[in-house]
Structure 1
Amino acid sequence: MTVGSVGRGHAPGHHGEILQGVFLDAAGRPCPGLVTLPMSGPGTRAEFTRAPGDRVTVEPRERTKAARAATLAVAECARRTGQPPGGGGLRLRSDLPVGLGMGSSTSDVLAAVRAVAASYDVTLPAADLARLAVRAEQACDPLMLDGRPLLFAQREGRVLEDLGAALPPTVVVGCLTSDGAPVDTLTLPRAEHDVRAFEWLRGLLRRAIAESDVALLGRVSTQSARYNQRVLAKPEFGVLEHIAEHTGAAGVQVAHSGNVAGLLFDATAPGLARRLRRCVRALRRNDITVTRIFGTRNGGRAWTTTSPTPSAGRTWCEPATVSSAFASRR
């Protein structure tokens, strides 16, 4: 065992889901699944230093899922390299808010596993990353799969369907619901899902991606968000739908297990900058905190509300207020 070897890993977060429900897998079996909305920028960075013994420590100490993932990754990498399992110290640094439904726990877990693997000079394929993530946290987001639109079985760590190369060109105005209160996903009720309804939405989403149809994408995300009101009701949802209708947005998108949401706009539509400004003003008038504006076809870089093109840096829509709003919920 190489004591003192250091490995580093990184994983992104996401901006909630486009679609989440129960779908049929290849064998015709009902299976919970989701399609996340990728967002670059915020994420988790991990550093793992190998040490003698069999104990893995983590900082911050409350990141117990990441510690469990690191322990599993040590055993996996030791087996692959023929070395005895050991211990080590894991340090995490994340700028993802916890409990908002942006994949913070999966980001922690994946960054931890990648850091451990790097310390062993091992590269783990995506399927193994997903398997370890599910073992560590019972369910995971598809953050190991590079942002492609995938229907992903979060409790099994497998892809149900590859929906295409990329989402349609969309600009998202992100915001907080319920004042950004964190959600304990373990307390959420289990809803009765109509598989036929979600299979219908799956087909619409497949078509939206194939035809690069933002309007159809918005239709799918809005309907999925409506269904989710039975599981995690967002008091502002009706207001968001109203603002979407009156600012020319394609639809509303939500985190199905947290309090982040977004309004979707066609990035190619004329008058985009004007629509974005109207949307931001309407959200603020209704005391809904605007977080960031980003695109699905520009690497997730932020947009400003005064330009129809993405900014060079990751610019928050409302830097002081929004940054502190997220920071206070980490």
Structure 2
Amino acid sequence: MRIGKGSCHGTFGELVQGIIDEKHFLITFPIPNLKSEAVFIPNPRASEMTMGDPKVKALKAGKILMQQFDLPLGGSLDIRSNIPSGKGMASSSADIVAAIRAIADSYSLPITKEMISSIAAQVEPTDGVMYDEVVAYDYIHGELIEGFGTLPSFHLVGFDFGGEVDTVQFNHIEKEYKQQDHAIFIQAYELIREGFGRRDFSLISKATTLSARVNQKILPKPFFYEFEKLAQDYQGGIVVAHSGTVMGILLDGNLPNQNEVISDLSRQMSDIVKNPILTLF
């Protein structure tokens, strides 16, 4: 038993999200420099786990873990994160995973990604952020579907339209997908699989754009079609938070004159949306 530490990356929305064969899935878009970091100080003499800045979901996940291993619930949990909440960037999922890892580190628990998934899914629908690489993930049941490996080299110019989306409430809303939408989900999934297999960025960006178009019927983003045109001009794709407020243009990391391209793209985006909150990854 010692002071335990754990961390977890965030995401920029999802590469693809939808339903195939009545199973909800998402394909993760991990962003390593978005991060939640947790520290756990055990206190076996205390009866409760405390936090200076309470994060209810992370606390609940920590208690579930400790109950599973029949551990005393006492201790202090502290979480620091640079992931904005309510934006569709996996802030709460990252907090949950970081907290579980910190407690597991403190007690040297033999925790697995599958165990983390199971606990996280008991708290809320969860992103697959316990996996470092890109995966297809059943976010309702917390189950890995398929791993794809790392993304080819990329740049992302992202922006936020403001406001927040409550992911839990959003996931309780029945999505009225048409038969054509289900066919697009299958197409996008296969494009991802092929794109990662061939390390072909163009196939991946096509998949993200297909998924974003379907989501535009569910949670529309302002200026979507103007930005889709910009993405096409730069041989990139649109990526969105399917249950959040952010959207971005995904660019091939091997483009010539990258700095010039990103600068020009950012300027054009600013011409469409006055004073957008731009983020580069």
* TM-score, normalised via structure 2 length: 0.91
Q: Do the aligned partners of 1:22 and 1:32 also contact (CA within 8 Å) in 2?
A: yes
Matches of 1:202 and 1:42 in 2, distance apart? Answer: 25
> Residue 184 of structure 1: which of 141, 151, 166 is its match?
166
Q: Is the 8 A contact 1:222 1:253 kept in 2?
A: yes
Deviation of 1:42 (Å): 2.1
> Partner residue of 1:56?
49
Q: Distance in 2 between matches of 1:220 and 1:59?
A: 42
Q: Map of 1:34-53 to 2, 5 A cutoff? A: 34-51=26-43, 52-53=45-46
- What's the C-alpha RMSD, in Å, of the aligned pairs? 1.7
Residue in structure 2 matched with residue 74 of structure 1 by the alignment: 66
- Write out aligned runs for 1:288-327 (5 A): 289-294=276-281
What CA distance in whole angstroms lies between the structure 2 residues aligned with 1:18 and 1:196?
Answer: 17
Tell me, in whole angstroms, the C-alpha distance in 2 between the residues paired with 1:65 and 1:165: 29
Distance 1:236 1:58 in 2: 40
1:261 corresponds, among 217, 242, 247, to 247
Amino acid at match of 2:175: A
Matched, 1:195 2:182: yes
Instruction: Name the counterpart of 2:111.
Output: 124
For the residues of structure 1 that align with 2:119 and 2:7, how far apart are their CA atoms?
16
The structural deviation recorded for 1:122 is 1.5
Corresponding position of 1:212: 199
Which residue does the alignment assign to 1:159?
144
Off by >4 Å, runs of 4+ in structure 1: none
Contact kept in structure 2, 1:174 and 1:261, CA below 8 Å:
yes
Counterpart among 9, 20, 25 of residue 23 in structure 1:
20
Other structure's SS at 1:143 match: coil
- 1:238 — aligned with what? 225
| Partner Cα separation in structure 1 for residue 141 and residue 213 of structure 2 | 25
Paired amino acid for 2:126: C
Counterparts of 1:160 and 1:42, CA distance in 2: 24
Within 2, Cα distance between the matches of 1:250 and 1:91? 39
Normalising by the residue count of structure 1, what TM-score does the alignment of the two structures yield?
0.78
Q: 1:17 to 1:85 in 2, by over 3 A?
A: same
Q: How many residue pairs align between the two structures?
A: 274
In structure 2, distance between residues paired with 1:221 and 1:253 = 6
User: How many angstroms apart in 2 are the aligned matches of 1:235 and 1:289?
Assistant: 12
Q: 8 Å contact 2:241–2:247 — kept in the other structure?
A: yes
CA distance in structure 1 between the aligned counterparts of 2:121 and 2:50, rounded to whole angstroms: 20
Query: How many Å separate the matches in 2 of 1:168 and 1:45?
Result: 26
Distance 1:75 1:202 in 2: 37
For residues 290 and 166 of structure 1, the distance between their equivalents in structure 2, rounded to whole angstroms, comes to 27
Q: Deviations over 1:181-203 (max 9, x none)?
A: 11112343321334333112111
Which residue number corresponds to residue 144 of structure 1?
130
2: CA distance, partners of 1:169 / 1:229: 27
